[in-house]
């Protein structure tokens, strides 16, 4: 099998993100919505708060009545009563009046500020105000938080624990979300054995099954392992047939150029399409991307670290798209390189790095190792991207670090 013409990393990302998807939705309760993606924008059906309320324990006043008030020259106001939390404010504040309110109490009509209790003194039938307050001070006005009819959360937003409070405030009990994509995962290779077996000479444990599965599940999808395929068209084809009803198919191993690699042949035998075979990146050049039964399929490199890096840099793009996630923000940090990073011109490279915070900012140190070594990922905090149009990066350059998690 000869490589198709390798595509650039930029082109590969554009092709992957342009893949036509058929997203499905379901309605779930807000108490199990964390991590899911909103399928519709949340429009406020109510005003929050629904009434103006006090932010402190104290006295509701007219601000103009207490201008210039201080310890040595307090303002004296007539106490008209108390408004408790959860009660309707039936008191009206006129000039020279005040009413006691608690934090969260409804503010009475006519008042436009609240003086903190610590800045007052009670006297029979009156209150001494010992501090000036200004109009609006210590009051949260009706609708100041959320206005009825406004968009509170956008479609495509991944739900966080704090979003639950917004749903509750609006009385929303259930929300529409995109269904979690179901991903089929297959390992391939005559040299691969299960991790509960002791490898004989020439054999290795199936690492990719676990790293890819963990990365994809962390990305919000459900993963089903369909088994280990041996290096034959018949065996790979059999496993691919089991994956027809999944939203995406991932198969690791057997994507490199060579007569013993059968993934592309198996995809084509089943009527699938190879969209590209090979990306100008390191590690991960032999990556396959195609279509099978209308679903996206990736052929991932067999080397564990290459497989993991392709999953992080390319597969997760589509995992997020399959969830309708349009607001994803990658975690990154800028730092200064502590060593030169050589690179091959014409290839986008992803050197692994460690990050150390100092008084002057982050210091970024390359983890130099062969691309096949899985331990380099464990020792690294993330990776940097060396553009294909350069021959490397120099010590002292400022770089952007992409975190693994």
CB 254, CB 188: distance < 8 Å:
yes
Burial of 270 (0-12, 13-18, 19+ CB in 10 A): middle
Domain ranges for the chain, please list them: 9-24+180-321, 25-41+153-178, 53-140, 332-403
CB 181, CB 74: distance < 8 Å:
no
Secondary element (H or E) of residue 378: helix 375-379
Task: Supply the pLDDT for residue 1.
Answer: 41
DSSP 154-203: -TTPBP-TTHHHHHHHTT--EEEEEPPPEEEEEEE-TTEE-TTS---TT-
Same fold yes or no, 25-41+153-178 and 53-140: no
What global pTM score does this model have? 0.86
Tens place of pLDDT for every residue, the chain, 405 residues? 444 468 999 999 999 999 999 999 999 999 999 999 999 999 999 999 999 999 999 999 999 999 999 999 999 999 999 999 999 999 999 999 999 999 999 999 999 999 999 999 999 889 999 999 999 999 999 999 999 999 999 999 999 999 999 999 999 999 999 999 999 999 999 999 999 999 899 999 999 999 999 999 999 999 999 999 999 999 999 999 999 999 999 999 865 555 456 899 999 999 999 999 999 999 999 999 999 999 999 999 999 999 999 999 999 999 999 999 999 999 999 999 999 999 988 899 999 999 999 999 999 999 987 766 788 888 999 999 999 989 899 999 999 999 987
Name the class of domain 53-140. mainly beta
The model's pLDDT over 26-74, given as tens digits with 9 standing for 90+, comes to 999 999 999 999 999 999 999 999 999 999 999 999 999 999 999 999 9
Q: Does domain 25-41+153-178 have CATH number 2.60.40.350?
A: no
Q: What is each CA distance from 121 to 81, 103, 106, 355, in whole angstroms? A: 15, 18, 22, 56
Report how far residue 388's alpha carbon sits from residue 391's, in angstroms, rounded to the nearest whole number. 8
Name the class of domain 9-24+180-321. alpha beta
CB 41, CB 151: distance < 8 Å:
yes
Give the 3-state secondary structure of residue 127: strand
332-403: CATH homologous superfamily?
A: MoeA, C-terminal, domain IV (2.40.340.10)
Question: In which region does residue 31 sit, left (phi positive, over 0), alpha (psi from -120 to 50) or beta (all else)?
Answer: alpha
Peptide bond preceding 155 in cis form (omega within 30 of 0): no
Report how far residue 292's alpha carbon sits from residue 184's, in angstroms, rounded to the nearest whole number. 12
Residues sharing a CB contact under 8 Å with residue 119, sequence separation 6 or more, in sequence order: 58, 129, 130, 131
């Amino acid at each position: 099998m000869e490589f198709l013409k390798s595509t650039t990393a930029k082109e590969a990302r554009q092709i992957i993100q342009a893949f036509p998807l058929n997203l499905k939705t379901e309605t779930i309760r807000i108490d199990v919505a964390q991590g899911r993606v909103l399928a519709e924008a949340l429009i406020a059906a109510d005003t929050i708060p629904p009434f103006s309320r006090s932010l402190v324990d104290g006295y509701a006043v007219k601000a103009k009545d207490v201008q210039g008030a201080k310890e040595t020259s307090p303002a004296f106001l007539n106490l008209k009563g108390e408004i408790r939390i959860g009660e309707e404010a039936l008191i009206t504040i006129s000039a020279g009046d005040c009413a006691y309110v608690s934090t969260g109490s409804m503010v009475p009509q006519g008042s436009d500020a609240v003086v903190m209790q610590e800045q007052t003194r009670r006297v029979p039938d009156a209150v001494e105000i010992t501090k000036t307050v200004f109009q609006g001070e210590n009051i949260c006005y009706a609708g100041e938080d959320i206005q009825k009819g406004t968009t509170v959360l956008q479609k495509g937003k991944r739900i966080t624990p704090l979003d639950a409070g917004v749903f509750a405030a609006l009385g929303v009990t259930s929300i529409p979300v995109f269904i979690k994509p179901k991903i089929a995962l297959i390992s391939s290779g005559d040299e691969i054995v299960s991790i509960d077996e002791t490898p004989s000479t020439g054999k290795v444990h199936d690492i990719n099954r676990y790293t890819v599965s963990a990365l994809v599940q962390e990305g919000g999808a459900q993963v089903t392992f369909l088994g280990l395929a041996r290096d034959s068209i018949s065996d790979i084809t059999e496993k691919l047939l089991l994956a027809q009803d999944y939203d995406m198919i991932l198969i690791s191993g057997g994507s490199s150029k060579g007569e013993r690699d059968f993934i592309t042949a198996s995809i084509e035998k089943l009527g699938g399409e190879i969209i590209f075979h090979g990306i100008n990146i390191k590690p991960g050049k032999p990556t396959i991307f195609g279509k099978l039964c209308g679903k996206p399929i990736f052929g991932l490199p067999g080397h564990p670290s290459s497989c993991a890096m392709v999953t992080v840099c390319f597969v997760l793009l589509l995992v997020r798209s399959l969830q309708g996630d349009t607001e994803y923000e990658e975690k990154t940090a800028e730092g200064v390189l502590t060593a030169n990073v050589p690179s091959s011109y014409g290839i986008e490279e992803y050197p692994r790095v460690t990050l150390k915070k100092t008084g002057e900012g982050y210091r970024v140190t390359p983890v130099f190792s062969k691309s096949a070594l899985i331990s380099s990922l464990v020792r690294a905090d993330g990776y940097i991207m060396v553009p294909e149009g350069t021959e490397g990066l120099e010590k002292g350059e400022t770089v952007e670090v992409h975190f693994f998690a």
